[in-house]
Structure formats: C-alpha cells, structure tokens
C-alpha cells in the first residue's frame, strides 16, 4: 500500500517540476526549431513548494552553455535562451564574437551546408559555428545586435543569448537577467515526437 501512495504522490507532484514547452520563436535555431517541444526541469536550480513560487532551497546554479527557461523582461513572456555570461563576469559582443572578461569564447566554424535541414522560415544566419560546445548562427554584418558594449554582471546576474543570433531578442537588447527570472533548465528537445540531442 505504501509504494502505491508514494507513486501517487510522485505523479501528483512531478508536473510542478517538469514542464513541456512548445517553442513559438526562431531564436533557438539550429538547436531548437519552431514547433519543437522543450522539456524543462523547473527544479534544476531551485526547489519550490509544488505549484507555487515559494522557494524551499537552491538545488544548483546556471552554468555557461545551459539552455534555460526564463521570464523575459517587459512582460514579453517565457523564453528559452542560452546562458553565456555568469555572475561577476564582463560579457561583450564584437561582430558576433562573444568575449568574456575580454577573452573570446572558443569558436570552430562548421559547414553551413550541413544545416540545410533548418527551414528558411527561421531566418538562420549564413555562418554556423560551434561556440564553446554549442551551435550558434549569424550573418556577418547583419544584426543590429552584432555588437554589444561590455556589461559587468552583478552577483546574481546572467547574460543570455539565443543561438540564432540574427533573430533573437536577448541580453544584447534588454541587458542582464537576474537569477530570479530563470525558471528552469532544458532537459531534452522533442521534434515530431522524437527525442533529439540538445
């Protein structure tokens, strides 16, 4: 009887910590596409009282490269962005190159022809790179946000960006994001019902 009660309690509580989220914007391409379903762990950084905003305790800290679900400023809504700059660091963008504390993140060019599977509706950049372990795309000289002045991040602030740099509203536009706005971490991405690597 006890295992059945525990299982029942677990099934009731689990939906408050694991959310599915359907992407409605193209800022995550090529990693995440329009219509993909993102599975988000809402307990990755904070354990909250189920179905509330009451934080019980911290379970982790966002790391560079994490894809996070975030409450965007100015009531824009929820978004999925990548953590680029961490608390205490200085983040800067120069012609689409990310610099942290004055040093560029490692970048390896990729064959953009290998990304032809990304639909044209995503308006993905012409250049695709492996940036410190994740994909990023941009078009040289195109985006109004290809340059961003240095931002010194406070003790609880993060610099977030979309992987589709030409088509992402992120910290380059609205500045640093406070830790409290980060709702969870992406666990997996489903495309047409199939699990893809993140």
Q: What is the mean pLDDT of residues 75-100?
A: 95
Q: For 125-134, write each residue's pLDDT tens digit.
A: 999 999 999 9
**pLDDT (average), residues 9-20:** 54
Q: What is the pTM of this model?
A: 0.88
Q: What residue segments make up the domains of the chain, in order of their start?
A: 17-193
Residues 6+ apart with CB under 8 A from 31: 67, 134, 135, 163, 189, 198
CB atoms within 10 A of CB 44: 21
pLDDT digits 0-9 by tens, 52-74? 677 787 889 999 999 999 999 88
Topology classification of domain 17-193 = Umud Fragment, subunit A (2.10.109)
Is the per-residue pLDDT at 153 higher than 80?
Answer: yes
Q: What is the pLDDT of residue 5?
A: 37
* Residue 106 or 76, more confident: 106
């Amino acid at each position: 009887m006890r295992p059945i009660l525990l299982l029942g309690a677990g099934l009731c509580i689990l939906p408050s910590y694991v959310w599915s989220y359907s992407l409605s914007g193209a800022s995550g391409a090529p990693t995440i596409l329009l219509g993909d379903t993102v599975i988000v762990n809402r307990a990755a950084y904070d354990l909250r009282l189920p179905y509330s905003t009451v934080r019980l305790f911290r379970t982790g800290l966002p790391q560079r490269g994490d894809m996070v679900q975030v409450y965007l400023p100015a009531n824009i809504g929820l978004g999925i962005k990548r953590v680029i700059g961490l608390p205490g660091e200085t983040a800067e963008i120069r012609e689409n190159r990310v610099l942290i504390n004055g040093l560029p993140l490692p970048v390896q060019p990729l064959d953009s022809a290998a990304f032809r599977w990304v639909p044209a509706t995503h308006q993905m950049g012409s250049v695709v790179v492996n940036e410190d372990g994740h994909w990023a795309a941009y078009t040289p000289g195109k985006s109004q946000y290809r340059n961003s002045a240095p931002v010194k991040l406070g003790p609880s602030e993060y610099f977030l960006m979309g992987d589709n740099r030409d088509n992402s509203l992120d910290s380059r536009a609205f500045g640093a994001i406070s830790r409290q706005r980060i709702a969870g971490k992406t666990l997996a991405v489903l495309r047409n019902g199939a699990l893809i690597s993140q």
